[in-house]
Amino acid sequence: MNAPARSLSFTEATAIIAGYGIGGGMLALPYLVSLNGIGPSGLVLAGAYALSLILHLMIAELAAGDGSGRQIVELFGEYLFTGKGGKVLTWIFFGVMGVVFVANLAAYISGGSEILAALGLAEPWGGIIFYAAAAAVAAFGLKVLGVAEKWAIGGMAVLFVVLVTASLAALARTGFSSPAHASALSPDPSKLLALYGMAMFCFAAFFSVPQAALGLSDRPGLIPRAVAAGLGVNFALILLVTTLSLLLSPEPTTIATVGWGRALGPWAELVGTGFVLLAMLTSYWSISFALSSMIRERLGLGNFSAWLLATVPTLVLALAGFGGFLEFMRTAGGAIAVLVAVLFVPTYRKYRNRKEATAILPPAISGRGWDWLAVAAYLAMAVGSLVPIG
């Protein structure tokens, strides 16, 4: 049973896509950049944005052209997992994606718990409180999600402006000198690949694209713009967070704004903590809503039951202490790359074989050369997620 469609503004649709990516991956990137230097890393990040945009526009094309508002799992069942064994394959994929999503969401609870523990809130209470705030929004539907994402990103923008202003003032006092880890000249190819893998994960908003397409279904021309803008917001924040945190932090930290805040003083550490928590909340909201939608569509459950199945296991897994924040993020990133990118491209091709013309995109993006490029880009991401960085 599908939830009723709700119209979204362009800003709300953009915020849903941006909110999916603004989170732990972005905050882990500065540490990986510190292993390679800002210059080479900037080229990797720009390439990751361009390559990820290709697949996201394909997803937007299929979601808009299909017109059902269904999540990617059901689109796979419609266009890819057909014939004998199709239903079984759809159920298998649904199960695997469910596990990946739960691990991904548990990473945010784990990261939120680590941050709250640093503020003096002992475990497991930090994780429980973060879960309560993170899981609540997904229970109220698409429109509430869009509004919550918009306001949260607005709050993050205010905190970010405060941090940027203070950072520029601090850098001016030091003559804008940079520590060694911000200007490494000999990047290691394997570490660049690890950086690329995490960067592609930061831009991976696969499951929020159908949500944005559904909310903008009455204005299809805005869909590709919302996709590009949502990923663009992530790109801009990644560049600013990475550059400023590395220039200011004496030593890079796994969660960027922790070291960034410490370098500016106690007040900035609190501001940075607020930014991090909002970033993790926005990601949890978007991903948990996508998982809840998958469960509702596949199992035919009501909204509340689907929400419970989508969120409660994430709390249990996080409290069980299965892995740390960065480990969770990299594992989930590699798994999502293989499962979605490799399977989506043939799904898109079968969809295109049914359609004589593209629904919202220029015909140039639908050529088979783009298919191979998208697959290669995400296979490289999967390899990058497995590269040791310790």
Is residue 378 classed exposed, middle or buried when 0-12, 13-18 and 19+ CB atoms within 10 A define those classes? Answer: buried
pTM listed for this prediction:
0.78
Stretch (H or E) spanning 257: helix 256-264
Q: How many residues does the chain have?
A: 390
| Higher per-residue pLDDT: 68 or 201 | 201
Using omega within 30 degrees of 0 as the cis cutoff, is the peptide bond preceding 124 cis? yes
Question: How far is it, in rounded angstroms, from Cα 238 to Cα 282?
Answer: 15
Cα-flanking dihedrals φ and ψ of residue 218, to 5°?
-85, -5
pLDDT tens column, 2-57 = 444 468 889 888 988 887 766 666 777 887 887 887 788 889 999 999 999 998 99
Which among 3, 6, 15 has a CA at the least distance from the CA of 226? 15
3-state secondary structure 142-167: HHHHHHHHHHHHHHHHHHHHHHHHHH
Question: How far is it, in rounded angstroms, from Cα 90 to Cα 313?
Answer: 22
Residue 351 has pLDDT above 50, yes or no: yes
Residue 314 has pLDDT above 50, yes or no: yes
Give the pLDDT confidence score for residue 326 in this predicted structure: 55
